[in-house]
Amino acid sequence: MDYNYWKVSFGVKGEKLMKTFKNILSWVLPIVVGLLVATVIRHFVFTMVRVDGPSMEPNLENNERVAVVKTAKIRHLSVIVFNAYKVDPDAKEKGVKYVKRVIGMPGDTVSARDGKIYVNGKAIKQNFISQFERTQGTGNWDLYSLSNRNEWTLQTTKVPKNSYFVLGDHRSVSNDSRYWGFVPKSKVIGVVKVPIWDTSAKKRHNVNSLGY
C-alpha cells in the first residue's frame, strides 16, 4: 500500500469535508443565533398577541394584533395584557389572556358616578372614549361596594399592594375588575403598544401614550 498516496488522498477528502462543514455552518449558525435571539426577546422583551372580543373598543378591535412590551412600566391608564387564569373565575384555561386598561394602582381608591371615574377623589380624564361610552355601562360604585356586591374574598376600600384595578374601554360589555376584583402584578405579561402601521393615529395615542 502506498501510504503517502493514502495520506494525500485523506488530506484532500478532509479538506473537502471541512469546506462542506464550514459552508453548512455559515448558513446554519445565523439561523440558530436568530432563533435564540427571537426566543429571548419573546420571553423577556416583547411578544405579539391578538385581541379577542370587543371589550377594548373603540380603541382596540376584535382580532387586532398588538405588541406587548414586557419591560415597559405600568402606569395609570396603561393598557395591559395579563393571564386571567385564577383571576377571573370564568377563565378556566391556563393560557387565557385579557386586555384591559389600568385605572387603579396599588394604594389607590377608585369609584365611579354618573360616567365619571374618580381615583383618589379626583376625576380622571377619559378622552379615550366618548361621553356616551362613559355613561353607558360604567355604573355607580366604589371598591368597597364592589367587593361586597360580588362577594370578593378581600373586602377593601383601596387597591391592594402589588395589584391593579382594570376596566375595559367598552364598559357595557367588558368583563373586568368590577366583577372579579384585582389583577396581581405577577399575572401581568406586559404593556400593550399598537404598531405604527396599524389602526388610526388617535387610537394609537389612546393605547400607547396615556399613561401617567
Residue 100: active-site member? yes
Confidence of residue 40 (pLDDT cuts 50, 70, 90): very low
Residue 55: active-site member? yes
- Tens-digit pLDDT profile for residues 57-113: 999 999 999 999 998 999 999 999 999 999 999 998 888 999 999 999 999 999 999
Higher per-residue confidence, 40 vs 117 = 117
Please give the order of strands across the beta sheet that includes 116-119: 122-123, 116-119, 110-113, 141-142
Active-site hit among 55, 111, 163, 174: 55
Higher per-residue confidence, 21 vs 114 = 114
Compute the 3-state secondary structure of the chain and give helix, strand, coil in percent, each to the nearest 5.
Answer: 35, 25, 45
Active-site hit among 78, 100, 111, 174: 100
- Tens-digit pLDDT profile for residues 10-35: 455 556 666 665 666 555 545 544 44
- The residue ranges of DSSP E strands in 33-84, in sequence order, are 46-50, 65-69, 79-83
- Tens-digit pLDDT profile for residues 130-154: 998 888 889 999 999 999 999 888 8
Length of the chain: 212
Confidence of residue 120 (pLDDT cuts 50, 70, 90): very high
Separation between Cα atoms, residue 93 and residue 26, nearest integer Å: 43
